[in-house]
Amino acid sequence: MTKVVKKFKVLYMKSVVTKRKENTMGYKDEEIMAEKKAAALKKIQELEGKKLEAQLKESIYDECIHVDDKEIRFSRRTFADLGISIYMPETFEQMEEEVKEALYPLKSAPKYVFVDYEIPFQITLNQTKHKVPDEGMSRFMDISSKIIENQGPKAKVLGKGVVRIKEHNVGILEVATRAIDGNVHNVMFNISINGQIVMGNIHFPAPYVKRLAVVAKEMMDSIEFIEDAKEA
């Protein structure tokens, strides 16, 4: 073997070893970066968890609550035509008619649609034509859930029930629906006022369910009945 060939072999082997070292270092760098990213993500999740835990201790009856980093203040609104009052965000305003008509085609829009576009939930209220006595609420909820389930995969009933709120039966349906921009969680409530159903829906994007489901429940619990208030 000539000196030239030996020298070439030595240089070649050195090159191979160097590349292997570089590749090994590259893999280690990638592993270190992946570990750092995982640790940072875990830290963010822990902080988000602590923030959510603190927010879940807040009440709509407090000076304010927090959703994301936004402060939201609640106060009572009275709807004499519906026969109820309910707590909702002070900044909620009725949705513009042209927007409402676009969202609810075929004149199916609820009478009241309240929004604040910086808050990730809305509430609708409507007087329906359904005549149901207070004691018939359980059967009405069975029928309503079957109607929703028959709509196909775009709507799924997650839960239903009837609770007593201030001596009235309130039917509740939790429904997951699909929208163009993502899944929506609906907390629907039905009340018999003078034998006629008043329907409400508090709805929000599905990722907010842990935070806003408790807010929706408090809002429903805040309902007062105008006739009851007059009698008191």
Q: To the nearest 10°, report the CA torsion of 49, 50, 56, 61.
A: -140
Domain membership flag for residue 63:
no
Q: In terms of domains, do 38 and 97 share one?
A: no
Please name which of 76, 83, 110 lies closest in space to residue 219, comparing C-alpha atoms: 76
Check residue 39 and give its pLDDT: 57
Domain membership flag for residue 166:
yes
Average pLDDT, stretch 187-214?
96
CATH number assigned to the domain comprising residue 92: 3.40.1000.10
Domain membership flag for residue 60:
no
Q: What is the residue whose two structure tokens read 């004499």?
A: 80
Token pair recorded at residue 139: 């059967």
Q: What is the residue whose two structure tokens read 């429904």?
A: 175
- Residues 58, 74 contacting (CB under 8 angstroms): no
Q: In terms of domains, do 96 and 185 share one?
A: yes
45 has pLDDT over 60: no
Check residue 119 and give its pLDDT: 95
Kindly state the percentage of the chain with pLDDT values over 90.
63
Q: What is the pTM of this model?
A: 0.78
Average pLDDT, stretch 69-89?
96
Q: What is the residue whose two structure tokens read 């000196």?
A: 3
Residue-number span of the structural domain to which 201 is assigned: 75-231
Q: In terms of domains, do 83 and 47 share one?
A: no
Q: In terms of domains, do 27 and 130 share one?
A: no
Distance, in Å, from the CA atom of 145 to the CA atom of 188, rounded to the nearest integer, reads: 11
38 has pLDDT over 80: no
Check residue 22 and give its pLDDT: 58
Lowest average pLDDT, out of 75-89, 140-154, 190-204, goes to: 140-154
Tell me how many domains the chain contains.
2
Average pLDDT, stretch 83-108?
91
Q: In terms of domains, do 89 and 158 share one?
A: yes
Q: In terms of domains, do 111 and 42 share one?
A: no
Check residue 91 and give its pLDDT: 97
List Cα–Cα distances, 206 to 11, 143, 201, in angstroms: 62, 25, 14
Q: In terms of domains, do 48 and 154 share one?
A: no
- Binned at pLDDT 50, 70 and 90, residue 44 comes out as very low
Q: In terms of domains, do 21 and 130 share one?
A: no
Domain membership flag for residue 51:
yes
- Binned at pLDDT 50, 70 and 90, residue 227 comes out as confident
217 has pLDDT over 80: yes
229 has pLDDT over 50: no
Q: In terms of domains, do 41 and 120 share one?
A: no
Q: In terms of domains, do 19 and 50 share one?
A: yes
Domain membership flag for residue 13:
yes
Q: In terms of domains, do 157 and 221 share one?
A: yes
Kindly state the percentage of the chain with pLDDT values over 70.
77
Q: In terms of domains, do 155 and 223 share one?
A: yes
